[in-house]
Structures are given as C-alpha cells and as structure tokens.
Structure 1
C-alpha cells in the first residue's frame, strides 16, 4: 500500500485539512487525519485528477509539423491508434486523468479497452460516437470528393441504425450536432443540423441503450432544441442567454463552454483560415454576451476544452479552469468542482473518479500551493506529481 502523509487535501468538493492519503493499486484506501507534522509538506496540496468532458485525441501526437485537417484522413487506422494512445498518455501526465472523446470511433474505443485492461498504462477514456448529417458540422472536415468519410445519418431510421452501430462498437455515449461549427469547411455556424425527427430518434435510441447524448450547438435555436428534447449535456453553448438560465438550472443540464479554443481562433493565437477566424469571432461575441451572469445564476458549467494536443494542448486545461473562474465569477473552489467531481458525474463516473475518498479510483495531482483557495495556483508549472490509476505518471511524490 502507498501513502502520502502530512499534506493539505482537497477532496473534490471541499478542503479536509492536513491529512494522509493511502491507496493500493487503483483504489483509494483511506483519507484521514495526518500522523505527520502538519508542516511537513506545507507547500503542497492534493486535488483529484481532472476530468475533461470534451476532447478529441485522434490527431498527430509527434513533434513535426503536419496539416491538421489532412493527417487524420490519410493516416491508416492502425497507425492512428498509436497516436491516440500517446495523446491520452500526454493528457494523463498533465493531470487530466479522465477524458471523454466526443466524436471518436473504433480506434479510440480500442485504446480505451487496452487502458482499462492494463495492457498499456493510460488514463480513463470514454468515447462518444457521432450521429450527424451529410453536409453537417461532423461531415465537413473531409473534402467533398474524398472517397472515405465517417458515417452520416439522413433519416430517422439511419439515425437509429448509427446509434446501434456505435453501441455495438463499444461507445459510451452519442454526440449530435444542433448547429454548424467553426472549423468545418464551408460550414455556417447558424445552420440547423438534422430535423427534429432525426434528433428525437437519435436521443430516444441512445437513451434506450443507456448512452448519454452530448449536443454541440453554436446557436440559440440549438440551445432551445437541446433543452426541449432532453439532451444530457450541451457543448460550447453559444446562443445561451438569460432567457435560458432558468430552464438550464431547473433541468440541471451541464454545459462545456470550451472558452479557450474559440478565443485562440478568434484572436489569431492559433492560425486558421480567414473563414474559421471570422466564425470564431462571431461565436465569441455572442457567447460572451450570453455568459455574463450565467455562473451566478447557477448554470452548471463543467470542464470541457476541445483539446486535441495542437490548438489546445494537454495541460491547457489549467488555464481553461482559471478562465472559467473569471468568466463565471466563481470562487476557486467552485471552479475546481467543475473540473473534478461535477465533471466526473457528467461523464457517468461520479462514483469512481473526481473525488478523493475510500473506494474511489487512485487519480490525483500533487501541486504546489492551494488552488482551491487561490485559483492562480492552478498552473501546469505547479504540478509536482500525477498519479493515474494508482501509478505515478509524472514527477515524483514528495517524501
């Protein structure tokens, strides 16, 4: 059994003071008062591993420069799966020990199983298959005359069949599109994606098979459809305004705001086409106006970044959390809840991760400072060590 003693602990919801954390394999055995000098590790604190509810990890994982749009469609699946595993492990080393890939496929599902079985060390990986339409956001990452593309669904029956396909492949959730997107080629942010009949069928079938539905939207219409049709989470949430707050709070619908990536595209921090930059600027302006006051109103924002290792890197989640605290006028502790215990609940692992308590998985971060008291401490450079599934995957635990 492993143990770290005499350190400040934040358990995913509140501070528990100076104590000790014991774990055996991938299970926390005890969180209890410390037997060590309270000042022994006074400069350090422990928080649960982070949970990012919205990532895309199928991109190139190496150091050379590649074209982000063509690499995924010209790289063989067997090769791509190795990059997926490498990206996931990079994320875990930065303390993001649970990831939900929104719009994954059999490649991510295979890597997830390899991690779960301990064949390779890696974080907890959940994968949602996408159900989108021809010429929708999920389809427009492929040039129109390229012969190979991801499956689409253009009728209620096709939607139902594609949900069943993803369930059979091992998906843990479904992603749908209720508007256009920023990076898809020739797309318009305000385009409606799919009919109500198609959307309702997808949600019905996913729920019948025990899979939550995450809804991408950059429009007010998309937000209203999401609320009316019973999706399980809203991704991006552009179009949310004060008229939606009461419904969002009453239905307890989580929203992953993906602040950083759209800011980066809009302000040119990362280089994209002029079309993408203009769309991002439109999205950011509408999003920022609608988000003012939403945090205070109780809208359930959770950590979701769109990280893919290139535009938003694994580790940028720390900056995203600080941005969330500022944007939603949250305390540091409220921001950490959104990135740990509440995010874990959103991805269906609320009884397994995101909390430091006996019986939970052994995922945690040792950091310099007290990020639950001062959100400025929530920085990559303050990471001392990361434990994922009970093993140290970054740094060294303090003695």
Structure 2
C-alpha cells in the first residue's frame, strides 16, 4: 500500500486536539501527524479507532435475531462458526471499532485473529482470552447439563495451571476467570462463588509467569475483592465495586469494563431472555448504579467494554455505550473518548501500538463529520465518513 495522507482535517490524537492538521500513513504505520494553519475550519475530523475490551465474537452473525438462541453455538459445526466469528469482527471494524478483545474465545477466535494479522482476510485486531472456570460455574452453565460436548473446566489449582498452559500453547493473549456467577448462565446466581482462592491464585500466577494478563468477571463485592487481592489485571462488569474497594482499584490502576448497555437492556426487557435472567439483571443494575457514580468520581478507570455478542449488543453499538458512559459518569467528551481509545489500549496491554494518532502507531482511525471530543453526541455511526483499519480503507471513502 502506498503512503497516504489526509490533509486539512481536525485531529484528536487520543489525548489532545489539533484544530487542523495532516495525518500520513504507510501501510499499517502512521508516519506523520502535524498541525497546519488552515485557510478555513475543516469539516471532517479524525480520531483513533475504537477499542472494545470485552466482546464475544462467537454468536450468530446472520440476519434476524429470531434465528439465534443459546443452543446455536452448540449445534453449529466449527467450520461454519468461524465464518460468523470473522463476520462479527468485520462488522465491528466497519463501525470504527478497529480492535476487539474476546473474553472467552478459543481456537476458532484465535484462528480468525491470525488470519487477520497475516492479511489473508481484511479484519480488525483481535485479542483472545481463554477461559479458566469451574464445573458448574458461570462459564460452564451456558451449556445444558446433559450435553456431552463442553468447553474445558478446571477444578483444582493444578488443573487451573494446566489449562492456562494449554491456552498459552494455543497462542491465547490472556486468561479470563469467573470470580462470581452471572446473569445469563442457566440456573446461576450472580453472588455465587466461582472457584477457590487457591484456584484463582494458581491461575493468576501461571498466567503471569507466561506473560498473559487475567481478566476477572465479577458481579458482587466479595468476588471483586477476592479477584483484586489475588492479583487480576482487570475487572469485568464490576457491579459490586463499592467504596471499600476503590482504594485498591486506584492503587493498582485496575481498568474496569462496566458493560452498561447490555445490562440495561436485559433489565428493562428490551432483550427478552426470560424472567430469571431479567430479574438478575435488574438486581445487577440497581447495585451497579449505587456504586458506579461514586467510583468514577473517585477516579476508577472505566474503559469501553460492552459484552457485545452481535445480538444483545450489536457490533456498532459501542458508540452508544461510550455516550452512555459519559452520561452515567458525568464525563466530558474527551474523557469519554479516551476510555474507548488510548486508555482502552492501555487496558489490554497495547498502549504502545494502538489507541493514538502518533508516528509509529498502527494506522487505525475513524473519519467523522463532527467533533466528538467537543460533543460526544457526534460519536455516532451515522457520522462516519470512512474507517481505516491496518492502513486500509474498510468503510466509506476518504474525503478529498
């Protein structure tokens, strides 16, 4: 790909705004970001590509929600599912979400990530965490009890270490654990303990020894405290992050993915998942709302993490999630944008590669008709003019 430039555009580089400037890139590397003195105020603006730190790519990607249900992934062959995974990731990319982290992926997501990385297919950057959970835990209870084909579980410290090593052998970028039960798992309770301290400690120790971060699903205060004290690197959902935990989160600079939109939709019935899950979601939202405003005011690092699966939260709804975070946390527009770009990159260990418009960084960015760092309502798929992912125009066309 030849060196390409965009001139006379406003720029927000992940931290600061340039009223007008030029961005140049050569393949998948930004080569220049400079300020210019424009003859007139530019109409278009460029921001870094969004980064969703918590997604699930393995769901049905075809038209019509009525064709999707929780059994779809159980009865669909892997050779077919991999196309849905790629389609979900590409849908995110075309909406300006140029990096996604799948929390509970497997060999299929890893295969898609490699295909995109090698340029065999055009796609976003995909990070994959393998799950280490217990029998009858949140990760296991998505599968009906008598169904014989189940994802691996680990029920002792040694089994946890072995499973971490197996994920490392497959090339996983990190590990996902479940410190509590969850909303959508069948017959589960959000306050149920998942795994012992010794099991979590072994998982974290082994993952860190193999340079893999650990993300912890948590929906109550007890599980969040256990996960933090045992050394996890991020908290997912974080419903129970009350004031007693804010000092720990702040001291360790732990990012939290709040997954606001999906829980709101489950709680208010926008997503019809049955009385059990809806009741759990309503309790989660009530506790979350009691904790999160204070947590944000205290300085807790909330980053973009939607739990998007393409059905309950679509790949493209990330813009709405960022706007909701801004409203919920009382953020200004720049703080909200940082949560989805530069700070999200830091949360997944890629702060030196993506999330910024700067020389040497990956060429992932979104061209918009608006100024989302001044007015967060301008962060809207309807305002996207073009998306560049890995240096390629993957949606729209560059303004001239």
- TM-score tier by shorter-chain length is over 0.9
Per the TM alignment, residue 292 of structure 1 is displaced from its structure 2 partner at its CA by 2.0
Aligned with 1:310: secondary structure?
coil
3-state SS, counterpart of residue 81 of structure 2 = helix
SS at match of 1:52: strand
Supply the distance in 2 between the matched residues of 1:349 and 1:38 (Cα, whole angstroms). 36
Q: Supply the distance in 2 between the matched residues of 1:227 and 1:104 (Cα, whole angstroms).
A: 23
The equivalent residue for 2:263 is: 262
SS state of the match for residue 105, structure 2?
coil
Q: Using the alignment, how far apart are the partners of 2:293 and 2:355 within structure 1?
A: 27
- What are the residue-to-residue correspondences of 1:41-80 with 2, within 5 Å? 42-64=42-64, 65-80=66-81
Superposed, 1:1-399 pairs within 5 Å as: 1-34=3-36, 37-39=39-41, 42-64=42-64, 65-399=66-400
Task: Give the SS at the match of 2:88.
Answer: helix
* Equivalent position SS for 2:305: coil
Q: Distance in 2 between matches of 1:124 and 1:37?
A: 37
TM-score w.r.t. length of structure 1: 0.98
CA drift at 1:67: 3.2
Partner Cα separation in structure 1 for residue 348 and residue 299 of structure 2: 20
Offset of residue 35 of structure 1: 6.7
Deviation per residue, 1:318-375 (Å, 9 max, x gap) = 1100111111111100011110011011111111110000000000001111100111
Is the 1:7–1:38 contact (alpha carbons within 8 Å) kept by the matching residues of 2?
Answer: no
Secondary structure (helix, strand or coil) at the match of 1:163 reads helix
* 1:94 and 1:314 in contact (8 A); partners too: yes
4+ aligned runs moved over 4 Å, structure 1 = none
Shift of the alpha carbon at 1:285?
0.2
Cα distance, 1:294 vs. partner? 1.5
Q: Distance in 1 between matches of 2:18 and 2:37?
A: 14
Return the alpha-carbon distance in structure 1 between the equivalents of residues 167 and 359 of structure 2.
34
Query: 1:68 Cα deviation (Å)?
Result: 2.3
Deviation at 1:105, TM superposition (A): 0.1
| CA shift digits 1:129-159 (9 cap, x unpaired) | 0000000000000100001010000011110
Any idea what the Cα deviations from partners look like across 1:286-338, whole Å, max 9, x if unmatched?
Answer: 00001122112100100000001110001111110011111111110001111
CA contact (8 A) 2:20 2:38 kept: no
> SS at the partner of 2:245?
helix
Given that 1:18 and 1:38 are in contact with CA atoms closer than 8 Å, whether structure 2 keeps it comes out as no
- 8 A Cα contact 1:325 1:332, kept in partner: yes
**Residues 60 and 68, structure 2, Cα contact 8 Å, conserved in 1:** no
Distance apart, 1:380 and its partner CA:
1.3
CA contact (8 A) 1:5 1:36 kept: no
How many residues matched?
A: 397
CA–CA distance in structure 1, aligned partners of residues 302 and 373 of structure 2: 17
CA deviation profile, 1:373-395 (whole Å, cap 9, x unmatched): 11111111111110000011111
Q: Distance between the aligned counterparts of 1:71 and 1:264, measured in 2?
A: 21
Report the Cα distance in structure 2 between the residues aligned to 1:160 and 1:246, rounded to whole angstroms: 30
Please give the secondary structure, in 1, of the residue aligned with 2:159. Answer: helix
Q: Which moved more, 1:242-251 or 1:139-148?
A: 242-251
Aligned partners of 2:16 and 2:376: how far apart in 1?
14
RMSD: 0.9
Structure 2 gaps, min length 5 = none
Between stretches 290-299 and 201-210, larger displacement belongs to: 290-299
Between the aligned partners of 1:34 and 1:114, the Cα distance in structure 2 is: 38
Would you say the 8 A contact 1:5–1:35 is kept in 2?
Answer: no
